[in-house]
C-alpha cells in the first residue's frame, strides 16, 4: 500500500504526493530531527502561517513571506519554521522565485533546508519542460554549506545540465570533502568537458578518489577515454594499472594502438590485467574484421 503523508494547509489538509515524499526523504541524511508540535504549538504555527499568507494577495509574495518565517535573519521559532517549509513545498512552482532569493540571502546554515524544500516544491510541479528549480540548485553550489552543496549535487545529477559541471568542480576544490561525491556525479552526468578535472584527480588526487575518477572517465566515454589512454604511459605502475583496468570495459578501436603499446612496454605490470587487455584487443580486431567484411559484401560489384 502506498504511503501518504498529509501536509498542513490553512483551511484544510491535502495529501503530499508520493514523489514529493521521496524527494524530501532523499535529503533526510542531512535533516535535523523535526520537532513534534503539541496541539497548542501546531495551532500557533498555523496562525503564524495564516498571517503570513494574509499579508499578500499573490502567491509569489506569499511565498516570500513564508520564507521569512522559515529562514529568518534572527532567532526563529522551529515549529513555525517547519510549518512554513511544508507550506512552501505545497506552493510548487509559485515558491521557486522566493526559494531562489532565500538560497542567496539566508544564513548558509539553512542551505540544506532550502534545498529540501525546493525538492518538495519541484515534486509538485507537473509538465515543466525546463525545470525552473535548477537555478536554485546551481546557486546552492556557491553557498559555503557542506550539507547544502551535497544535496544540490545529488539533485542536479538527474537533470543533467552542463551548467552544473564547473560549479560542482569549484565546490569540490573549495570543500575537498565533496570531491568523491563530485567525481561520482560527473561520471553519471556524462559531460565530456568534465574530463580535464577528472584527469587531474586521477593523476594527482587522493589515492582513495583516483579509482573513482578513472571509473567516471570510463562512464563518460568518447573523448574522456583520452586521459585513460595517456595514463597508460605514466611513469608509475599504479597509475598505468588504474587506466588499463578502467579501459577494459570501454576501449574501442581508437584506443587499440595505445593498448598494443601498453602490452608491449608494460605487460608485466599485472598478468591478469594484461591478459584481459589481450582478450580485449582480440575482440576489437574481430569486430573490425567483421565490419570490413560486411562493408565489402555490401559494396557494388564490378562485372
Task: List pLDDT tens digits, range 274-291.
Answer: 999 999 999 999 999 999
Task: List pLDDT tens digits, range 48-75.
Answer: 999 999 999 999 999 999 999 999 999 9
> Torsion angle, CA of 156/157/159/162, rounded to 10 degrees?
80
Q: Is 236 exposed, middle or buried (0-12, 13-18, 19+ CB in 10 A)?
A: exposed
Confidence of residue 11 (pLDDT cuts 50, 70, 90): very low
Output the DSSP codes for 220-241. H-GGGHHHHHHHTT-SSHHHHH
DSSP helix, strand, coil percent of the chain (3-state; round to 5):
70, 5, 25
Mean pLDDT on 93-110: 96
Q: What is the pLDDT of residue 10?
A: 39
Find the DSSP H helices in 18-95: 18-26, 39-54, 59-70, 78-90
Provide the whole-model pTM: 0.82
Give yes or no for a contact between 227 and 197, defined as CB atoms under 8 angstroms apart: no
Phi, psi of 9 (to 5 degrees): -135, 135
Confidence of residue 303 (pLDDT cuts 50, 70, 90): low
Amino acid at each position: 500500500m502506498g504511503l501518504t503523508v498529509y501536509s498542513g494547509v490553512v483551511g484544510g489538509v491535502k495529501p503530499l504526493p508520493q514523489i514529493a515524499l521521496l524527494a524530501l526523504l532523499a535529503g533526510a541524511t542531512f535533516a535535523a530531527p523535526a520537532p513534534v508540535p503539541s496541539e497548542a504549538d501546531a495551532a500557533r504555527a498555523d496562525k503564524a502561517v495564516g498571517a503570513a499568507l494574509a499579508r499578500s494577495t499573490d502567491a509569489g509574495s506569499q511565498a516570500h513571506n513564508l520564507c521569512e518565517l522559515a529562514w529568518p535573519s534572527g532567532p526563529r521559532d522551529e515549529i513555525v519554521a517547519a510549518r512554513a517549509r511544508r507550506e512552501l513545498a505545497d506552493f510548487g512552482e509559485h515558491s521557486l522565485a522566493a526559494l531562489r532569493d532565500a538560497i542567496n540571502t539566508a544564513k548558509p546554515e539553512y542551505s540544506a533546508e532550502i534545498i529540501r524544500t525546493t525538492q518538495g516544491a519541484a515534486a509538485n510541479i507537473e509538465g515543466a519542460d525546463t525545470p525552473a528549480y535548477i537555478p536554485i540548485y546551481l546557486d546552492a553550489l556557491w553557498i559555503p554549506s557542506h550539507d547544502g552543496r551535497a544535496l544540490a549535487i545529488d539533485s542536479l545529477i538527474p537533470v543533467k545540465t552542463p551548467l552544473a559541471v564547473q560549479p560542482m568542480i569549484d565546490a569540490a576544490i573549495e570543500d575537498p570533502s565533496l570531491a568523491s561525491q563530485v567525481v561520482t556525479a560527473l561520471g553519471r552526468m556524462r559531460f565530456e568537458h568534465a574530463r580535464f578535472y577528472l584527469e587531474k584527480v586521477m593523476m594527482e588526487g587522493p589515492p582513495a578518489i583516483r579509482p573513482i575518477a578513472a571509473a567516471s572517465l570510463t562512464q563518460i566515454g568518447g573523448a574522456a577515454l583520452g586521459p585513460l589512454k595517456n595514463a597508460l604511459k605514466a611513469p608509475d605502475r599504479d597509475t598505468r594499472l588504474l587506466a588499463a583496468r578502467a579501459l577494459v570495459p570501454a576501449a574501442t578501436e581508437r584506443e587499440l594502438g595505445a593498448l598494443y603499446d601498453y602490452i608491449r612496454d608494460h605487460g608485466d605490470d599485472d598478468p591478469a590485467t594484461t591478459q584481459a587487455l589481450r582478450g580485449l584487443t582480440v575482440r576489437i580486431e574481430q569486430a573490425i574484421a567483421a565490419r570490413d567484411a560486411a562493408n565489402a559484401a555490401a559494396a557494388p560489384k564490378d562485372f
